[in-house]
Amino acid sequence: MPEILNGILLRRIRFSETSLILVWFTDLHGKTKTMAKGALRPNSPFTGELDLFFHCELLLTLSRKSEIHGLREVSIKSPFGGIRTNYLKTSTAAYFVELIDSVSGLEHPAPELYRLLLRALGYIDRQKPDIRGVLFFESELCKCLGLYTPDLHSAADKLVEAYGQLPRTRAPLMSQL
């Protein structure tokens, strides 16, 4: 049975010469994997539609036997093109995506995390990222996860305490900011 979702593309994994496995963060199912058969063919309907950070409307065929669902159609809602205009924006967006990926389980609905990531990507798309923005994202993430702390600087410590570590990309990003 087809289902329509909104999602943000977190990761692309080459499955074969012509197909991709895509990891999305969706509004209704949280982190979800899909198979885009033939996505790498020259005349694929997916050409130009499957780039990192894209916010899309998805038409999926949900699988009952596998954790990988079929991707039937994609419609871009926002490509967040401003994120690709500079390395610092891309690095910040990648850190946010990696952090969301590391704290979320597959097929576990988390609409508050979806909205947080969508807001953060929209902000980075329009503004130059800074340390305060990264700390704010981490603090808001803690709130969504029930790890609330009133101090922006202790949010990273709370995430490490709860999940073992932060993405390795954090330290280089913070030094660049």
Q: Where does a domain end: 78, 112, 137?
A: 78
Look at phi and psi of residue 113 and say left if phi exceeds 0, alpha if psi is from -120 to 50, else beta. alpha
The per-residue pLDDT for 148 is 82
Distance of CA 42 to the CA centre of its chain: 26
**Helix residue ranges, H only, the chain:** 87-103, 111-126, 131-145, 155-163, 170-176
Residues 92 and 172 placed together within one structural domain of the fold: yes
Q: Give the CATH number of the domain where residue 59 resides.
A: 2.40.50.140
Is the predicted pLDDT of residue 152 greater than 80, yes or no? no
What's the token pair of residue 76? 């871009």
- What is the dihedral sign for C-alpha 54, 58, 61, 66? positive
Q: What percent of the chain has pLDDT over 70?
A: 99
Strand bridging mode 30-36 / 68-78: parallel
Q: What percent of the chain has pLDDT over 90?
A: 94
pTM of the model: 0.94
Average of per-residue pLDDT across 34-45: 95
Model confidence pLDDT, tens digit, residues 157-172: 999 999 999 999 999 9
Question: What's the domain count of the chain?
Answer: 2
Q: Confidence band (pLDDT; 50, 70, 90) for 149?
A: confident
Model confidence pLDDT, tens digit, residues 102-134: 999 999 999 999 999 999 999 999 999 999 999
Query: Cβ distance 92 to 129 under 8 Å?
Result: yes
Q: What is the mean pLDDT of the chain?
A: 95
Residues 41 and 114 placed together within one structural domain of the fold: no
Model confidence pLDDT, tens digit, residues 54-80: 999 999 999 999 999 999 999 999 999
Residues 16 and 63 placed together within one structural domain of the fold: yes
Query: Cβ distance 42 to 21 under 8 Å?
Result: no
Structural domain of residue 61, as residue ranges?
2-78
